[in-house]
Amino acid sequence: MVVETILQAIGNTPLVRLRRCAPENGAELWLKLEYTNPTGSMKDRMALAMINGAERDGLISPGDTVVEYTGGSTGPAVALVCRAKGYRALIVIADCFTSERFQLMRALGADLEVVPSVEGPPKVTPQDIANMVARASELAAEPGHYATDQFNNPYIIPDHRDHLGREIWNQTIGRVTAFCHGMGTATSLMGVSDALKPHGVFIQGHEPAGSAAISGGAPGPFLVQGWAGSVMPHWDPDRVDHVEAIPDDEAIEMTRRLAAEDGIFAGISTGANVVGAHRLAERLGATAVIVSLAVDTGFKYMSVSPYGDA
């Protein structure tokens, strides 16, 4: 691949079949390596879609400040896109997230507004997310500031439908029978569903067992950074066939296995996705062709389990 700008390197990520961490019943499990995007995360797609959409609709002007809240990887992605396009990035983040995220955003030129967390690192709570959203809204009200507001942004789902979803369909040559993925904003799950569900593909969402709001559980702390643990505005039950609640300990153990056994060096949400995919394989049987996402790079988790205690 040869590109003129860093933004053209976003998307068209590899699709890799798992071997040692594959389901025991013989179902195929493929991971799309979203950590090969420029900031090491699938959120590069989201950031580019949000800012391109704002430019098309005349909502943002040269030199403006883009304000976004982040609990996972959206912050670095927004910082990258803003730096490439000439905007200032102002990112709101709680102090419960890994230090690597702070370092990466600052390296990409973002200014950070850090808010205190409810329980302290590394535990995340739905209230931490709500506090970040509220502070970002306050900052975005200032002149020359624009809120991309990922939880309510209208540009993300169509972009995932037209790019991520279409890539999965084309890379599997239409063989995919199921897609599963965790929910932060829920936009990637909704967008891929729009692309694949018309072809009869089974769609499964994942949420943290410690805060399984969609499944009817009580809110609480969890360790999968980037997930919401609450019902997001983009959530649409008609687009999803099943929701699976994933325990932190199983996600962490699978994350460790993926690196050691299949060479997939990814974050905890990827381990959670594979745990959910194994459960989905049991549900659908040996003929299933399941696709999920390797969401972000393990380098963002070097200070926490499973890599920080390795």
Task: Give the active site residues.
Answer: 43, 269
- Note whether 250 and 275 are within 8 A (CB): yes
Helix (H) or strand (E) holding 294: strand 289-294
CA 101-79-268 angle, 5° bins: 30
Task: Give Cα separations from 256 to 38, 116, 181, 305 (angstroms).
Answer: 23, 29, 18, 9
Q: Kindly state the tokens that stand for 208.
A: 């943290």
Q: Which residues contact 284 (CB under 8 A, 6 or more apart)?
A: 27, 177, 178, 202, 290
> Crossing angle of helices 99-107/74-85, nearest 10°?
0
- Report d(CA 296, CA 40) in Å as an integer: 5
Place of tokens 């976004």: 68
Helix (H) or strand (E) holding 274: helix 268-284
To 10 degrees, the CA torsion angle through 178, 247, 45, 78? 170
Q: Which residues contact 213 (CB under 8 A, 6 or more apart)?
A: 126, 207, 219, 229, 230, 231
Exposed, middle or buried, 20 (CB in 10 Å: 0-12/13-18/19+)?
exposed
Strand partners, 29: 290
